[in-house]
Amino acid sequence: MQSSNAETKKSNQKEESKQETPASLSNPSALAELSSQEDPLDITMPKVTVQIGDKSFSVTLYDNESARDFTKKLPLTLDMEDLNGNEKFYFFPHPFPVSNERVGNIKAGDLMLYGSDCLVLFYESFPTSYSYTRLGYMEDVSGLTDALGNGSVEVTFRIDNTSKNE
């Protein structure tokens, strides 16, 4: 992408991210709830549970097209491969909508898309110059590194119907 287009897109993405509002579009009952409410800004994105072995982690989703599309694919069990000792990744056979931005810093527990088809779960924090589409984040990453271990690991993603992000 040309740098002038990248700067324009980055600027637009900053504006879009300021305007993002919660909305739950993951299942029919949530859609019914959305249509029955007077103020759609009161609806929230669902939480996602990430299961790794016997450990569970909660992911708070961002309200964007990519995260909504991701929830439509759930539940998913993926064999995620390790990269650089700081992330697990999986390439989907189909693209997701993207809103790439230079995130600057990765935090352990970040869930993002690299390109339009690579899901990445980070388990270390570090600065980066790469661009990603933000899907969500874990507030509590205690035990995440140990659960993911070395090499490939099976990771299950499912919607947590018991709680929603506020």
Q: What is the pLDDT of residues 15-65, one digit of tens each?
A: 443 333 334 444 444 444 443 333 334 347 899 999 999 999 999 999 999
Model confidence band, residue 163 (pLDDT cutoffs 50, 70, 90): low
Q: How far is CA 164 from CA 44, 60, 141, in A?
A: 6, 8, 18
β-bridge mates for residue 77, sequence order: 156
CB 151 within 8 A of CB 29: no
DSSP 22: -
Q: What's the pLDDT score for residue 87?
A: 96
Nearest of 28, 16, 42 to residue 98 by alpha carbon: 16
Helix (H, G, I), strand (E, B) or coil at 41: helix
Average the pLDDT over 103-114 and give the result.
96
CA-CA distance, 136 to 45, in Å (whole number)?
10
Q: What's the pLDDT score for residue 2?
A: 40
pTM value surpassing 0.85: no
Tell whether the model's pLDDT for residue 110 goes beyond 60: yes
As given in the structure block, the two tokens for residue 157 are 């993603």
CB 111 within 8 A of CB 135: yes
The conformational region for residue 109 under phi > 0 = left, psi -120 to 50 = alpha, else beta, is left
Q: How far is CA 74 from CA 62, 67, 149, 150, 160, in A?
A: 16, 11, 23, 25, 10
CA-CA distance, 66 to 97, in Å (whole number)?
5
Average the pLDDT over 6-12 and give the result.
40
Tell whether the model's pLDDT for residue 14 goes beyond 70: no
